[in-house]
Chains A and B, each alone.
Chain A
Amino acid sequence: MIAFDVQLQQGRFLLDVQWQSQARCLGICGPSGSGKSSLLEALAGWRTPRRLNLRLDAFSVPSAQIPPERRELGYVPQDGLLWPHLCVRENLALGCANPQLAQRTVAVLGIEALLERLPADLSGGERQRVALARAIARQPRALLLDEPLGALDAGLRRRILPYLARVGEEFRIPTLFVSHDPAEVLALCDEMVLLEAGRIVRGGPPAVLLREQDSVLGAFENIFHGEVVQADEGTALLQLAEGGQVSVAARGIQVGERVLFSIRSDEILVALERPTRISARNVLPAVVIAVVEEGNAGVRVDARLDEGRGALLSAVLSAAAVRELGLSAGAELYLIFKANSCRLFTSQP
Chain B
Amino acid sequence: MLEILTTTLLVAGLAGCLAAPLGILLGYWMARSEFPGKSVVETLIALPLTLPPTAIGYLLLVLFSRGGLLGNWSPGFLFTWKAAVLSAAVMALPLVARTARAAFAEVDPRLELMGRSSGLGSLAVFQRITLPLARRGLLAACLLGFGRAMGEFGATVIVAGIIPGETETLSLAIFQEIQLGNSAGALQLVAIATLLSFLLVWTTERLLRRRASS
| Chain A residues close to B by CB (< 8 Å) | 44-46, 67-69, 71-75, 77, 81, 83-85, 94-95, 97, 134, 138
CB-defined contacts of B120 to chain A, threshold 8 Å:
69, 94-95
Q: Are A85 and B118 in contact (CB under 8 A)?
A: no
Kindly identify which residue among A46, A85, A138 contacts B113, using a CB–CB cutoff of 8 Å.
A46
Q: Are A67 and B116 in contact (CB under 8 A)?
A: yes
Q: Are A94 and B113 in contact (CB under 8 A)?
A: no
Contact A81-B114, Cβ < 8 Å, known A69-B121, A94-B128: yes
Q: Are A45 and B116 in contact (CB under 8 A)?
A: yes
CB-defined contacts of B115 to chain A, threshold 8 Å:
83, 94-95
Q: Are A69 and B116 in contact (CB under 8 A)?
A: yes
| Contact digits for B129-171, partner A, Cβ 8 Å, 1 yes 0 no | 1001100000000000000000000000000000000000000
Majority-rule SS of A interface residues: loop
Q: Are B116 and A97 in contact (CB under 8 A)?
A: no
Q: Nearest Cβ in chain A — how far from B213, in angstroms?
A: 12
Interface check B117, CB cutoff 8 A: yes
| Chain B residues close to A by CB (< 8 Å) | 108, 110-111, 113-121, 128-129, 132-133
Q: Are B116 and A75 in contact (CB under 8 A)?
A: no
Instruction: List 9 A-B pairs, Cβ < 8 Å.
Output: A44-B117, A46-B110, A68-B116, A69-B117, A71-B117, A77-B114, A83-B129, A95-B118, A97-B119
CB-defined contacts of A69 to chain B, threshold 8 Å:
116-121
Q: Give CA–CA (A81, B128) in the complex, Å.
A: 15
Q: Give CA–CA (A138, B121) in the complex, Å.
A: 14
Q: Nearest Cβ in chain A — how far from B182, in angstroms?
A: 51
Kindly identify which residue among A67, A72, A75, A85 contacts B114, using a CB–CB cutoff of 8 Å.
A75
Q: Are A94 and B110 in contact (CB under 8 A)?
A: no
Residue of A nearest to B133 (CB): A85
Kindly identify which residue among A84, A94, A134 contacts B133, using a CB–CB cutoff of 8 Å.
A84
Q: Are B118 and A94 in contact (CB under 8 A)?
A: yes
Q: Are A138 and B116 in contact (CB under 8 A)?
A: no
Q: Give CA–CA (A71, B119) in the complex, Å.
A: 8
Q: Give CA–CA (A279, B133) in the complex, Å.
A: 58
Q: Give CA–CA (A72, B118) in the complex, Å.
A: 8
Contact A75-B132, Cβ < 8 Å, known A81-B111, A83-B111: no
- Given contacts A68-B117, A69-B116, A71-B117, could you give 7 more A-B pairs where the C-beta distance is less than 8 Å? A44-B117, A81-B114, A83-B133, A94-B115, A94-B120, A95-B120, A138-B119
CB-defined contacts of A46 to chain B, threshold 8 Å:
110, 113, 117
Q: Give CA–CA (A85, B108) in the complex, Å.
A: 13
